[in-house]
Structure 1
Amino acid sequence: MTSSTIFSGVSPISLPAATTGGNSPLTLRDMLFFLRMRWPWIVATTIAFLVLAGSYVLTAEPTFVASTQLVIFPQVSGSEAQRAFAEDAFIEGQLEIARSSDVVGGTVTALDLDNDPEFVDQAPSLQDRAKNWLTGLSSQQDTPSQAATDKGTGEAQPEGERLHDWATATLLNMTEIRRIGSSTVIEISAAATTPQKAVDIADTLARQYIQKNISMKANAARQYSDWLAKFITEQQRGLAEAASALAGFTSNPRDQFKLAELQSATDARRTLYESTLNQLTEAKQRITYPVSDATIVSRATLPLSKARPRSTLILAFAAAVGLGLGLALAMIRHAGDRRIIRPHQIADAAGLPFVTLLATSKRTSNRHPAHFLAAGTDRSTAAYPDIPGMAELSATVVGLRRKRRVVIGIVAIDPGSGASTIACELAMLSAISGAQTLLIDAAAQKSSLSKSIAPHSSTGLVDVLDNGELIQTAALPLTPTLKFLPLGDVEAVTPAIRLSSRRTQLSFADLKKEFDAIFVDISAFSASPDANAIAPELDGVLIVTSHGRTSIDDTMRVIDTMRNVGAEILGAIINHAPKRMQS
């Protein structure tokens, strides 16, 4: 006996001997079968990606983002269309000013970020390395200590200046300055590893931007004031000359028209001088008290939660990728799997009239499922565990030949497929139906059937081959309609090979005169050549495969080999099928 458990099964699946040409369409049943068979691949891949994502979420340093909002007052004039265009250009200019190195560098100095490990001497992260690799750059960024020379002169930069430049570049990458919609409001967002640091950076950036704006306006006013001062000097000199000419002509007026002209020129110069003097006064005021074009309308507040990593999004993405990759791997595995998992694989390839699935059941706890047939035990047929599916299989096997007396061999592709157990079950069911049944153990390789049913038998098939009269004593009655012929002591040549020679004292033709059904347990094909030798002497052969273990290629090779020697393959049995295959 090669199986250690009793098999429960489903009704035999009758399939056509050959399928029509073309590929059959994918059905819902096929998809459900695929999911039932390959769900461990899908689940395992999904879980693996979720574990990786969860590890990243748990170990990644959190990042908090705080935002400060400012409103800008564009100083533009002109038509409505001109004002709109000038306003957009003005705000874009202010955004660039806010991103300038003066503003960001001033923030670094104000917050002493050039001494913060988060901003200096920082090894490139895995994300940065991936970005650099994708963009074709070196995956190793220069640290402040590595950037030791100036690009233009090749002279070494002071350490403090290098740290400041590095911190400025890092801070610029950690901030975002944008315009909100088409409004005149801009938002400065800063990211940091702590909520308070993010708030401090955002607010300081806003203040530095306002200071930069004020400084720029003060410098512009100062330059304008200097120009006005020079222009007033010129105007003052011109006014003095015009006044002197007017005074000299007035003392001796000879031409009233010339007098009016000099008076008008003097008044014009005086008016221009006074106007320029007023502008100079206003410019001086803008220098001493400049007004910014922007003001803070909303200061940064402490963020309530981290902005990155986005745990939910990362886990959802990992689950989606894992599910997709798991499906892909499962489909590749399913398409390339040559193991037998569905009945139509054998039926279509070999043209068999039927293929049966039998599922494993733990109905017995010992290692010999046929112990209840042991000779000498007083067991009734009612005690026999009627296994669903086996009765239908027995009726199908017997009905296929449409003969009253048949000899059927049961052979497995590989050892451990349960051929001995199936032979025992079929024999018992045949006997229960009232047919005189003989079960023959011809499996010479590690035959556990004889050890299980008749462990103390002194004669067996080997002896009957030499002396046919011993059949009466060698065949042990197990029930009124069932006898068992154990193997006996095998020497050089196996009983199956001796039976094929037809030079023995035992023949199947003689046995048919006494028994209605004879079941022969044969050694597994891969373990012994007995199947090829004895198969032509039988009325038919049942091929036993193991679900998910026996390959379709090995099965077809065995079937073709046995057919070549004249054996008739009645059908196939897929043993050890999962119970879910019954649905």
Structure 2
Amino acid sequence: MLRLNPAWSPDAQNDAPTRRAVFSLGAIGTALRRSLWTVVGAMVLCVAAAAVFCVFSTPTYVANVQLLIEPQKQQQLLLFEPGMLDLTLDNAQVESQVEVLRSERLAAWVVKDLKLATDPEFQADPSRMNAHPGAGSSGDADRDEAQRLRTTVANLAKHVGVRRIGQSYVIEISAWSTRADLAAQIANAYASAYLRDQFDAKSQGARQGVDWLKLRITELRGTLNNAARAVEDFKSKNGLVTAGTNLLVEQQLSEMNTELVSARAQTTQSAARLARVRAVGGAAAGSASVGEALNNQVITNLRERQQNAIAKEAEFRDRYGPTHESVVKAQADAAQAETEIATEMQRIAQTYLSDYEIAVERERALEGEVGKLVAVVDKRRQSKVVLSEMEAQAESYRKMYQNLLEKLTETSQKETLPISNARIVAPANAPLGKSSPKTGLILALGAAFGLLGGTVYATVRVGLDRTVRTAEDVSHATRLDCLGLMPFIAGKRSGGKGGKVARPIGFEVLEAPFSAFSRALRRTKIAIDASRESRTMTTIGIVSTASGEGKTSIALNLGALYAQAHLRTLLVDADFRKADLTRANAPMATAGLVEVLESDADAIQSTRLPNLDLLPLVFTMPIAQSSDILSSRQASVLLAALSTSYDIVILDLAAMQDSADVRAVGRLLDGLLLVAAWGETEAAVLSEATHALDASGAHVFGVVLNKIRDTASVSQSI
């Protein structure tokens, strides 16, 4: 009943262990990926051994200091143009500085500064000192001291190296000693002695520059004062008072122009109001078109009195007739109000006339003032041209004076701390590691040896591994096709066999449809569909050899794929040991598979995915007769009924090591999908499982290798 792999043959099976043991570049790469931490541990161990060797070796420390030789700038302080500065530096100048650093004079300064004559590492050999007759005299003592100093200088020269770095302007001074701090002190002392020599050579030039600058500043100060005084006298004589950047008279003219524009606008407005009042005249009816009349309380009261009189006239006319005394009196009151309104309108006209005359007079006065200011501005602007020339000359003297003051300050500082044409780029620090023996090289060799040993160990370990890790391993162990390589999905909780994850991952094909897991499961579905084309298959069982190998996740997501294909799909939780499918998707279910078999209850529940239903499994304690339940006639009838109602029925069965349910129900299903865990399921166990399924008469589609942590194998699978 097993679906035989065409590539399998008895000869191939017998030759399987041999092919597993062949060592190739691909096998070594695979071994390194699978045993990364083993290789890292071997490297750490070998590096530690190399470090112990370096610790117990006699150390020699090297300290380096780098000097940058900058171009020699000209000492002419009045050449302000950058193009006039000499920034050239030839190779001969750099090589000359190298020889200065190698000179005995600098070495003698270093010996005296660090008192190396008394240091055992640099002391002269007493046996090599010349013996002089009459030893003990002052002359002999001086000669011995001089000889000891020269010998110490010669020994120091053997511990110091000076070289130019490439064709650059950087000179490196190297000093080595058995003490790290002393090596750094010697290198820094050489650099300090060289800079001190440069400072001494420039101090004299700085002092001469200070004297010349003081004399020139005194002369220029008098010239600057005379120019500034002339500017102020010219301003006072010509009345050139400024406000900000403009003359005061110009600012007054601008303000007067603004007032003139405002006065003209006011005159125009007064003329328009006066013309309107004159057009209306003294008629009371026209008062409504005059703005001030609308806001005039007197006119408002008169209008109200007029309206009241007119209303009374109409009322009395209707009541007593047109000749009645009350009607005549009302008419007289209305006429009196009309007269008073006309009088008030004449008063308003007089007010408008007065405002207009005042606006005209103000406009004429402002025009006269503007004319006078224009004449004054024209005259002052001619004088401002001369003033600008005088101010420019005074400003040039001021800038020269300020530049000379800055140069004096700078040169005065050079007199006590002159600027050198060299500077320390990187001072020497106490070396963090020994230079001899070559710690880095030894550690690198230790790491390389550890890498080689770890690789060999990992390769041998992989060769002796008996778990299935590749599709080829699955084919050799089961004679079945490996239908899919499922990667390990992060976020699963540890537990179960081997301390690995044992919980379903949920609808991975919905949450990450383009992930490696989803793509691999689609390939598995296609392989199952290819088997269904040759025969009618509706019921599919998902089984694994042991718990925790991810069969529930495969069942859940495979059902989701069929539901997405618009096939009515039912997931049946038939795992009487774990029931993970029910706990993850229907934790509140009160009835399930057992109740349906016993009483034909309706326990099928819909999921959040269309076309996908779930038949849960509910029990309070493990059921020992689960195999009898699944192989019963009721189970067979139920499967037949479900096959009629659904296009696909997927059963999540218990692990074969935990229960015999698969052997009992396998013959009732159209096919089984066997799930194995990468690096956990042994080939022998997987082979035994396939033989057991074959003996029970079950049809197996193939094997799915799940929880693969070797991502390279998954990405390369087709």
The one-letter amino acid of 1:476's match is Q
Residue 573 of structure 2 aligns to a residue in which SS? strand
Matched, 1:556 2:684: no
Match of 1:62 in 2: 59
Which residue, 571, 575, 600 being the options, matches 1:439? Answer: 571
Match of 1:510 in 2: 641
Rounded Cα–Cα distance in structure 2 between residues aligned with 1:204 and 1:317: 43
Rounded Cα–Cα distance in structure 1 between residues aligned with 2:474 and 2:507: 33
Per-residue Cα deviation, 1:230-278 (whole angstroms, up to 9, x for no partner): xxxxxxxxxxxxxxxxxxxxxxxxxxxxxxxxxxxxxxxxxxxxxxxxx
Match of 1:376 in 2: none
User: Does the 8 A contact of 1:540 with 1:568 survive in 2?
Assistant: yes
Match of 1:51 in 2: 48
Matches within 5 A, 1:309-458: 309-362=437-490, 387-402=518-533, 403-458=535-590
Matched, 1:18 2:146: no
Matches within 5 A, 1:154-193: none
Rounded Cα–Cα distance in structure 2 between residues aligned with 1:316 and 1:204: 43
User: Does the 8 A contact of 1:340 with 1:551 survive in 2?
Assistant: yes
Per-residue Cα deviation, 1:98-131 (whole angstroms, up to 9, x for no partner): xxxxxxxxxxxxxxxxxxxxxxxxxxxxxxxxxx
Rounded Cα–Cα distance in structure 2 between residues aligned with 1:364 and 1:556: 27
Matches within 5 A, 1:201-280: none
Match of 1:149 in 2: none
Rounded Cα–Cα distance in structure 2 between residues aligned with 1:329 and 1:536: 45
The alpha carbon displacement at 1:26 in A equals 5.9
Residue 356 of structure 1 aligns to a residue in which SS? strand
The one-letter amino acid of 1:348's match is H
- Classify 1:566/1:199 alpha carbon distance in 2 versus 1 (closer, same or farther; 3 Å): farther
Matched, 1:464 2:596: yes
- Classify 1:487/1:349 alpha carbon distance in 2 versus 1 (closer, same or farther; 3 Å): same
Residue 35 of structure 1 aligns to a residue in which SS? helix
Identity %: 26
The alpha carbon displacement at 1:461 in A equals 0.7
Per-residue Cα deviation, 1:1-54 (whole angstroms, up to 9, x for no partner): xxxxxxxxxxxxx97541674555766544432332233322221122112312
Per-residue Cα deviation, 1:530-567 (whole angstroms, up to 9, x for no partner): 22222222222212122222222222222222222222
Which residue, 451, 474, 483 being the options, matches 2:613? Answer: 483
Match of 2:659 in 1: 528
Match of 1:289 in 2: none
Which TM-score applies when normalising by structure 2? 0.42
The alpha carbon displacement at 1:196 in A equals 7.6
Which TM-score applies when normalising by structure 1? 0.51
User: Does the 8 A contact of 1:439 with 1:518 survive in 2?
Assistant: yes
User: Does the 8 A contact of 2:576 with 2:622 survive in 1?
Assistant: no
- Classify 1:32/1:504 alpha carbon distance in 2 versus 1 (closer, same or farther; 3 Å): closer
The alpha carbon displacement at 1:494 in A equals 4.4
Structure having greater relative contact order (Cα 8 Å, sep ≥ 6): 1
Rounded Cα–Cα distance in structure 2 between residues aligned with 1:548 and 1:517: 31
Rounded Cα–Cα distance in structure 2 between residues aligned with 1:323 and 1:355: 35
- Classify 1:349/1:536 alpha carbon distance in 2 versus 1 (closer, same or farther; 3 Å): same
Rounded Cα–Cα distance in structure 2 between residues aligned with 1:524 and 1:59: 58
The one-letter amino acid of 1:422's match is I
Rounded Cα–Cα distance in structure 1 between residues aligned with 2:671 and 2:653: 12
User: Does the 8 A contact of 1:347 with 1:355 survive in 2?
Assistant: no
Per-residue Cα deviation, 1:373-430 (whole angstroms, up to 9, x for no partner): 9xxxxxxx97785632222222222322433432211112221111111101111111
Cα RMSD for the two superposed structures: 4.0
User: Size of the alignment, in residue pairs?
Assistant: 343
Rounded Cα–Cα distance in structure 1 between residues aligned with 2:669 and 2:121: 87
The alpha carbon displacement at 1:336 in A equals 1.2
Matches within 5 A, 1:143-158: none
- Classify 1:453/1:337 alpha carbon distance in 2 versus 1 (closer, same or farther; 3 Å): same
The one-letter amino acid of 2:473's match is Q
Match of 1:576 in 2: 707
Rounded Cα–Cα distance in structure 2 between residues aligned with 1:505 and 1:410: 17
Rounded Cα–Cα distance in structure 1 between residues aligned with 2:441 and 2:506: 60
- Classify 1:364/1:61 alpha carbon distance in 2 versus 1 (closer, same or farther; 3 Å): closer
Is the deviation greater in 430-439 or in 28-37? 28-37
Residue 522 of structure 2 aligns to a residue in which SS? helix
User: Does the 8 A contact of 1:17 with 1:353 survive in 2?
Assistant: no
The alpha carbon displacement at 1:308 in A equals 5.3
Rounded Cα–Cα distance in structure 1 between residues aligned with 2:581 and 2:483: 24
Residue 567 of structure 1 aligns to a residue in which SS? coil
Per-residue Cα deviation, 1:480-521 (whole angstroms, up to 9, x for no partner): 522211112366444443121335574423322222221110
- Classify 1:354/1:313 alpha carbon distance in 2 versus 1 (closer, same or farther; 3 Å): closer
- Classify 1:492/1:446 alpha carbon distance in 2 versus 1 (closer, same or farther; 3 Å): closer
Rounded Cα–Cα distance in structure 2 between residues aligned with 1:327 and 1:372: 39
User: Does the 8 A contact of 1:475 with 1:486 survive in 2?
Assistant: yes
Rounded Cα–Cα distance in structure 1 between residues aligned with 2:491 and 2:466: 31
Stretches of 4+ aligned residues off by more than 6 angstroms? 195-201, 363-368, 370-373, 381-384
Residue 320 of structure 1 aligns to a residue in which SS? helix
The one-letter amino acid of 2:459's match is M
- Classify 1:474/1:505 alpha carbon distance in 2 versus 1 (closer, same or farther; 3 Å): farther
Q: Which runs of 5+ in 1 are unaligned?
A: 1-13, 65-194, 209-298, 374-380
